[in-house]
């Protein structure tokens, strides 16, 4: 009887979710049309979207907040469950020698933990990370470090190196131990900034220069829809199991 009672409660919760989502209508935001779950805008009912995927809308732009940064949402792909963003501070700047802000780290810990252990706003698995460093010594015979002459001086040498992200997909703590920034940082260099580049099917050119990095920075990067994770509560486990059975 106890099992049946729990089952009835969970079915009622699922029915409430379905009924709530039926009241959610696709919406437009900036230049984007026919937007739906997991996105929502401020004031929507709770079931209409994931809290981390709230969009701010103007007449021409849709923006999203990821940790400390604001990003323009340029496209949404419901087939691949990804959306494309561009750092607003870079898109608005006309500098020919841009440097990402050091406090914008959307990929730290692989994303933002959501409900039932899920992960939100995770980098696409094929994204790369561009790491900017300031070194007290010039790098010799190291093709990984791309020099940035426009930011360097006679005593301070700024470089960027690009590595495939190891933080995309399902975030686990072991991935932090092999962060591409840490493993490639030279002792004479200090951290300046990081920014993701690209996404599905993006090919970063061999022997790329800083001009290529700038182009990729201004094109933005791909972020994934919510990823399922560990469900710690019994009700959450039963609910997810029932959802899987229904599908």
What does the pLDDT read at residue 245?
45
What does the pLDDT read at residue 23?
67
Select from 82, 61, 78, 79 the least CA-distant residue to 70. Answer: 61
Q: How many residues does the chain have?
A: 247
Mean pLDDT by 10 residues, the chain (247 residues): 47 42 81 96 88 94 91 96 93 83 64 78 87 93 92 96 65 38 76 89 87 94 84 42 46
């Amino acid at each position: 009887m106890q099992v049946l009672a729990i089952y009835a409660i969970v079915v009622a919760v699922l029915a409430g979710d379905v009924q709530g989502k039926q009241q959610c209508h696709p919406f437009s935001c900036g230049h984007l049309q026919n937007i739906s779950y997991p996105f929502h805008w401020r004031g929507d009912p709770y079931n209409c979207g994931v809290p981390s995927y709230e969009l701010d809308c103007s007449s021409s732009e849709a923006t999203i907040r990821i940790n400390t940064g604001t990003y323009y949402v340029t496209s949404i792909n419901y087939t691949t469950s990804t959306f494309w963003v561009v750092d607003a501070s870079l898109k608005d700047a006309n500098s020919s020698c841009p440097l990402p802000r050091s406090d914008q780290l959307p990929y730290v810990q692989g994303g933002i933990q959501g409900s039932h252990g899920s992960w939100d706003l995770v980098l696409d698995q094929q994204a790369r990370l561009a790491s900017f460093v300031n070194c007290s010594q010039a790098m010799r015979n190291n093709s990984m470090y791309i020099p940035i002459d426009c930011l360097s001086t006679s005593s301070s040498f700024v470089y960027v190196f690009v590595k495939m992200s190891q933080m995309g997909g399902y975030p686990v703590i072991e991935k932090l131990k092999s962060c591409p920034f840490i493993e490639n940082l030279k002792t004479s260099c200090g951290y300046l900034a990081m920014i993701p580049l690209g996404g599905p099917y993006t090919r970063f050119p061999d022997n790329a220069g800083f001009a290529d990095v700038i182009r990729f920075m201004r094109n933005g990067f791909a972020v994934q829809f919510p990823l399922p994770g560990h469900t710690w509560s019994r009700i959450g486990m039963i609910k997810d199991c029932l959802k899987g059975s229904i599908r």
